[in-house]
Amino acid sequence: MSWSERQQAMLEAMGLRVWTAPPVPEPEPEPEPTAPEPVLAKVEAPAPVRVASVLPQIVVPVQPAEQPRAPAAAGAVAAMDWTQLREAVAGCRACGLCEGRKHTVFGVGHERAHWMVVGEAPGEQEDLQGEPFVGQAGKLLDSMLRAIGLTRADGPPEKQVFIANTLKCRPPRNRNPEPEELAQCEPYLNRQIALVQPRIILAMGRFAVQSLLRSSEPIGRLRGRVHEYQGVPLIVTYHPAYLLRNLVDKARAWEDLCLAMDVLQRKT
């Protein structure tokens, strides 16, 4: 079977490429025999078959071209709705982290949550499941939230938090985020906060603080007071993964949660 040019164009648009056997060269003419004709009856050799004429045309899938990397355009991201933002994150190729990820980790929770929690970056479990804070640190975060009557599961906006990270893709071997990766991912977090319009933000750990407050001061120096991100009160506290290794600071993290509750009660 052979395909017309139009059919071929349609197949290619569907990701299929028409493979046609290359033309087989005409066989070389037999050299003139120099020896005298044998006396025996001559046996006719079968006529050579042109392979190309009997091979069917085969349709083979086209390998998708490698997607180019492109920076996230902050201006475009700032105008996105939830659906567009989710799609943009899912297809993001703005930095090298896209090469090694299994899933992007967008965030979970109420789209108009009163509380927004901002962590650092997905780890192994988060990368596998596509949800933030599902490993050991996540279990501690869930307990901390439960202690103040909050949850990541279904609930009204005053109870169900929204949890997001500064990075949406896992850094290899859980290394620290690079400044360039934070910069590329920042428009997504900014837009999430703008859409949620939280009444209070809990910034957990130094990378959340660096992104949202532009501060590299240690957590110990920033916690215990009220900061602001775009007019929203922001409380700095320790990252749950740090608290797993430094149990003595759990009491301080508890104070931070109490401070956040106070601020919110005073606002409402």
Residue with tokens 């949406």: 168
37: region left, alpha or beta (phi > 0 left; psi from -120 to 50 alpha) = beta
Contacts of ligand URA in 73-132 (CB under 6 A): 119-123, 126, 132
Question: Is the sign of the CA dihedral 52, 55, 56, 57 positive or negative?
Answer: negative
Query: Quick one: 123 or 157, whose CB is closer to ligand URA?
Result: 123
Q: Total residues at the site for ligand URA (CB under 6 A)?
A: 12
CB of 256: closest distance to ligand URA in angstroms? 16
Half-sphere exposure in the Cβ direction for 11 (13 Å, CA): 16
User: Residue 61 phi/psi, 5° resolution?
Assistant: -65, 145
CB of 96: closest distance to ligand URA in angstroms? 19
Query: Quick one: 200 or 241, whose CB is closer to ligand URA?
Result: 241
CB 16 within 8 A of CB 62: yes
Letters for 161-180 (x = contact with ligand URA by CB under 6 A, - = none) are: ----x---------------
Neighbours of 264 (CB within 10 A): 18
Distance of CA 25 to the CA centre of its chain: 51
Position with the least CB separation from ligand URA: 119
CB of 69: closest distance to ligand URA in angstroms? 23
CB of 122: closest distance to ligand URA in angstroms? 5
Q: Which of 72, 88, 137, 243 binds ligand URA (CB under 6 A)?
A: 137
Q: Distance between CA 128 and CA 230 in Å, rounded?
A: 33
CB of 135: closest distance to ligand URA in angstroms? 6
Query: Quick one: 72 or 241, whose CB is closer to ligand URA?
Result: 241
Find the distance separating the first CA and the last CA of the chain, reported in whole Å: 74
- Interface with ligand URA by CB under 6 A: which residues? 119-123, 126, 132-133, 137-138, 165, 241
